[in-house]
Structure 1
Amino acid sequence: MNPARIFLPLFAAASLTSAVADDRPNILFILADDLGWRDLACYGNKFYETPNLDRLSEEGMRFTQAYAPAPICSASRAAFLTGKTPARLGFEFVTKNEPGFQPVDASLRAPAFTLNLSTEEKTIAEVLAEAGYETAFFGKWHLNRHHGRYLGWSPTHGPPAQGFLHATEDFGSHPYSYWNKKEQRKFSPKIEHAMLPEDGMTGHAIRFLRGKHERPFFLMVSHFWVHTPVHTRAKWLHDRVLKRIPDTHPRRGELAQYGAMVETLDHHVGELLAALKAAGLEKNTLVVFTSDNGGHPEYFGNAPLRGSKWNLYEGGIRVPFLVRLSAVIPPGTICETPVAGVDLLPTFAEVAEAAEADLPSDLDGKSILPLLQKPDAEFSERDLFWHFPYYHPEGKKYDDAPEKIGIDDGFTSKTKPNSVIRSGPWKLIRFYESGVGDELYHLPADLSEQKNRAASEPEIFGKLRGRLDAYLNQCGARMPVPNPAWQKND
């Protein structure tokens, strides 16, 4: 790898060369929590106003087929940071307080819970630190068993143990920060019109940007927005969003609260980007914004995509993905090539001119730098894989959940253990329970995944099934097994 030979000519107009100081780009990675593919105005949302993220899209590149590595938080974050799929990592679900198995009355038993991202895995932060970057992390981690409190960082497996030099825990102004105080679960008269509470987590990131930097930096800002609890204390914002939602919408109240959270997220991203510009860092900073998984089904609903967070239909894994680097990406560029969250580690490594020998040899991701340079560039077709050998929801909620996973129906439906391969226009979903048939979809003609072509396209089905099985076997994926405690209901 010699990325400097590829990358530096693009900066010629800006007079950037390796002969002058260390002018490698800074990297700002902004990760939203549970933000759906259609939640932003720049992705077609008609109810919510997101001017700051829309501007980021207008100034850079918007990807239409970007995917989170998993349909659930911890698994996705582990894959973002390592460039490896949850199947390869053996980290496919969320962290828990204690080891054990899912409390689900079902025919299969999912693998045991993974509690921590192993410190033996090399993260983006560790790769970039070795390349000479200053590293910082603020926000939601969720990659270790809860320490001291819900989502608390472990001293042995938290960000400082995974390559981040600067890191501070803070819920910010997200409802997590006050949800244990029931008297605060209401509109606050202290919040004036057109004002929002200061977000401590964003404040930490802004102070880092304003600091002195003698070398390029990698800053990861991991928002808690828009994860549940879905709530705003700003009545003016709630009421403004509510006016845009038709009176006839069955979830109008929920969508107003959720929309207020989306617009709050946009506001804090705007604060961060404004600080970047004020510090004179905007032109030489690669900014990447995306979400850890698809949106919650009980709120905006992800239509026209089927499914949601927790399952592997498009609504659970297709996410917003915006990239800006002014010296490289022309404003208002759109890229329709499928990309995935596991691509970030190799991409950032190439931008940072990290030594190839410093990268893990078993990465699943691929640098998307060629697409940033030219969105219609030839990008050798490759298979993308997902593996979710778990059930959702857990406990009695699983028994009560609807069987069918629909489109914008407002329900958290049953997710059963399954894996996915996407190859070109085709997507195969393999289910592991006996009697649950596999599904094959042609996404360009069937984005909502309504017409199962498994029976009508046996040759394509067979090839994809074979490649999916081979991949899972090659990376030692953990599989669901017969549940010894299951009592079949005749």
Structure 2
Amino acid sequence: MSKADLGLSRRRLLLGVSALTLAGCAAGLSGEVYSASGAPAPSSDLNAGRKQPNIIFIMADDLGYADVSCYGRREYQTPAIDSLAETGMRFMQAYSNSPVCSATRTALITGRYQYRLPVGLEEPLTSRKVGLPPSHPTLPGQLRKAGYQTALVGKWHLGALPDYGPLKSGYDHFWGVRGGSVDYFRHESMMGQNDLWDGETEIHETAYLTELFGDRSVELIDEMSQNDKPFFLSLHFTAPHWPWEGPDDRAESERIKDAGPYGLVHLDGGSLETYAEMVVSMDQQIARVISKLQELGIEDETIIVFTSDNGGERFADTWPFSGIKTELLEGGLRVPMIVRWPGVIEPSSVSQQVTMSMDMMPTLLHAGSARPDPDFPSDGIDLTDALKGAAPAPRDVYFRYMNLDQKALRSGDWKYLKIADVSYLFNVEEDPKERANLIGRYPEKFAELKMQYEEWEASMLPLDPAANTHGYTGEMLADHFHVTD
């Protein structure tokens, strides 16, 4: 049965109508939106009378808004991710903090706008000697103070040894890659160097990277569940980030091996079929994680979050938005976000709350009965009320990206956007593709948002001309033919 057969348009999916059914999900999502009047009052301690929950935070890399079937992808199915939506809550207005990787990761782990730290100005971080300061409070670090075991499996991308690393920023265990991109079979960086680590020890494996992350995750869940403490596992996949290699594409890995630093960018490879294989492989590893929780009898004691670090790239589906990774158009920023929390979240629920990556810190600290550091107040908001079904709270969110001097502010349905020397005003609820520039019709609203943005930007670190930034040009992507260096 198709979505058309169900009377469901993808636009209605975006808007989160009060009752919808999505055929692509594992058992169908009712999609009911709960009002504030129907939601239980939030408790100051969600764990009163019960154990602190385990927490698993899963992040895909460069996954588009509509790249999983419970957000509308038609070409393949993602049953494990869909099962999280069936038993949890989908957020339909979730934003990554940045349209690129390490900037979002800075915001995620600190709970603050990335523009408050030098490492957050890197778009993304390359070989420059900057990173996340070990002295800065982090989500895993604050949870560890509250008694959690903490582990990161997957991608770090917040600074290199000897000065920076997961074990210096709150994690007890690390198994994964330190840089921004590696080959899925050779596990080599853009510079041709091995980038696979167990803690601070370099290791060598030959298997498909996504599957290795699944292997290590279930091993760690097994190990940590034997202890008396709750655990926090960050599972940060590199999929479906380039290079475009599915589980059976070892020959493609060898083909691009000698192509130089830009071989991994893989501008001469990839296909929708390969992309599907990469996403499906990731979904299969998530299924293994869920199965392990069920096997251990701790599924109902575990919060699971799934999202992406930014909008999609070449082969992604960002429908109904325009724009991709590196762009402040909605397609570069909007991401799927699903939270499963048995006993707190109503199954198959939907929220229209505007969220950002940095909201995870206050939300998960609250969930884990952990204290924030008062000297580093979060810019994120605690989503507990939204998770319990409350109506969306008003929220303004700000973005900046150095390439093409991009700036954006979302306030209610309005969005102020600047790209190079051109400014725009959109109603993103009515016009999610950002096609109708309303500056001429609503000049006062434009002036108001522009001034509001400038006041916010003055409170952040200034742009650093030495920082890395990246954007796509016509030489890279044909649909960017008008963009030059």
- TM-score computed with the length of structure 2 as normaliser: 0.74
Structure 1 unaligned blocks of 5 or more? 11-15, 100-114, 146-153, 182-195, 236-250, 392-415, 482-488
Question: 1:213: which partner in 2?
Answer: 227
C-alpha distance in 2 between matches for 1:197 and 1:423: 40
C-alpha distance in 1 between matches for 2:210 and 2:90: 29
C-alpha distance in 1 between matches for 2:93 and 2:347: 19
Are the structure 2 counterparts of residues 126 and 464 from structure 1 closer, same or farther at C-alpha, using a change threshold of 3 Å? same
C-alpha distance in 1 between matches for 2:154 and 2:80: 20
- Of the three residues 263, 269, 278, the one matched with 2:295 is 278
Aligned length: 387
Check whether the contact 1:170–1:201 (CA below 8 A) recurs between aligned residues: no
Instruction: Give 1:353-392 correspondences, 5 Å limit.
Output: 353-356=369-372, 358-374=373-389, 377-389=390-402, 391=403
Check whether the contact 1:43–1:320 (CA below 8 A) recurs between aligned residues: yes
Instruction: Give 1:424-435 correspondences, 5 Å limit.
Output: 424-431=412-419, 433=420
Are the structure 2 counterparts of residues 31 and 198 from structure 1 closer, same or farther at C-alpha, using a change threshold of 3 Å? closer
Instruction: Give 1:214-363 correspondences, 5 Å limit.
Output: 214-234=228-248, 254-296=271-313, 298-356=314-372, 358-363=373-378
Q: Does the alignment pair 1:121 with 2:136?
A: yes
C-alpha distance in 1 between matches for 2:236 and 2:128: 24
Q: Offset at 1:331?
A: 1.0
Are the structure 2 counterparts of residues 466 and 362 from structure 1 closer, same or farther at C-alpha, using a change threshold of 3 Å? farther
Are the structure 2 counterparts of residues 378 and 359 from structure 1 closer, same or farther at C-alpha, using a change threshold of 3 Å? farther
Are the structure 2 counterparts of residues 8 and 362 from structure 1 closer, same or farther at C-alpha, using a change threshold of 3 Å? closer
Q: Does the alignment pair 1:86 with 2:114?
A: yes
Check whether the contact 1:86–1:386 (CA below 8 A) recurs between aligned residues: no
Check whether the contact 1:52–1:267 (CA below 8 A) recurs between aligned residues: yes
Question: What amino acid sits opposite 1:354 in the alignment?
Answer: A
Check whether the contact 1:83–1:364 (CA below 8 A) recurs between aligned residues: yes
Classify the secondary structure of the residue corresponding to 1:169. strand
Q: Does the alignment pair 1:32 with 2:60?
A: yes
Question: 1:200: which partner in 2?
Answer: 212
Question: What amino acid sits opposite 1:200 in the alignment?
Answer: L
C-alpha distance in 2 between matches for 1:170 and 1:473: 35
Are the structure 2 counterparts of residues 199 and 439 from structure 1 closer, same or farther at C-alpha, using a change threshold of 3 Å? same
- Of the three residues 423, 436, 441, the one matched with 2:426 is 441
C-alpha distance in 2 between matches for 1:53 and 1:98: 35
Question: What amino acid sits opposite 1:209 in the alignment?
Answer: I
C-alpha distance in 1 between matches for 2:374 and 2:460: 18
C-alpha distance in 2 between matches for 1:445 and 1:166: 45
Q: Offset at 1:467?
A: 1.2
Deviation string, structure 1 residues 371-407 (Cα, Å, up to 9, x no partner): 1111xx2443121011112x2xxxxxxxxxxxxxxxx
C-alpha distance in 1 between matches for 2:358 and 2:371: 18
C-alpha distance in 1 between matches for 2:111 and 2:209: 35
Are the structure 2 counterparts of residues 197 and 470 from structure 1 closer, same or farther at C-alpha, using a change threshold of 3 Å? closer
Question: What amino acid sits opposite 1:388 in the alignment?
Answer: Y
Check whether the contact 2:210–2:281 (CA below 8 A) recurs between aligned residues: no
Are the structure 2 counterparts of residues 451 and 139 from structure 1 closer, same or farther at C-alpha, using a change threshold of 3 Å? same
Classify the secondary structure of the residue corresponding to 2:293. helix
Check whether the contact 2:42–2:385 (CA below 8 A) recurs between aligned residues: no
Classify the secondary structure of the residue corresponding to 2:365. helix
Deviation string, structure 1 residues 229-278 (Cα, Å, up to 9, x no partner): 0122438xxxxxxxxxxxxxxx9971011111111111111111111221
Q: Offset at 1:80?
A: 0.6
C-alpha distance in 2 between matches for 1:464 and 1:168: 44
C-alpha distance in 2 between matches for 1:179 and 1:353: 37
Check whether the contact 1:29–1:219 (CA below 8 A) recurs between aligned residues: yes
Check whether the contact 2:184–2:245 (CA below 8 A) recurs between aligned residues: no
C-alpha distance in 1 between matches for 2:270 and 2:110: 39
Check whether the contact 1:39–1:48 (CA below 8 A) recurs between aligned residues: no
Check whether the contact 2:88–2:349 (CA below 8 A) recurs between aligned residues: yes
Classify the secondary structure of the residue corresponding to 2:184. helix
- TM-score computed with the length of structure 1 as normaliser: 0.74
Q: Does the alignment pair 1:176 with 2:189?
A: no
Check whether the contact 1:155–1:161 (CA below 8 A) recurs between aligned residues: no
- Of the three residues 427, 431, 454, the one matched with 2:439 is 454
Q: Offset at 1:313?
A: 0.5
C-alpha distance in 2 between matches for 1:96 and 1:378: 41
Question: 1:239: which partner in 2?
Answer: none
Check whether the contact 1:68–1:76 (CA below 8 A) recurs between aligned residues: yes
Classify the secondary structure of the residue corresponding to 1:283. helix
Q: Does the alignment pair 1:95 with 2:108?
A: no
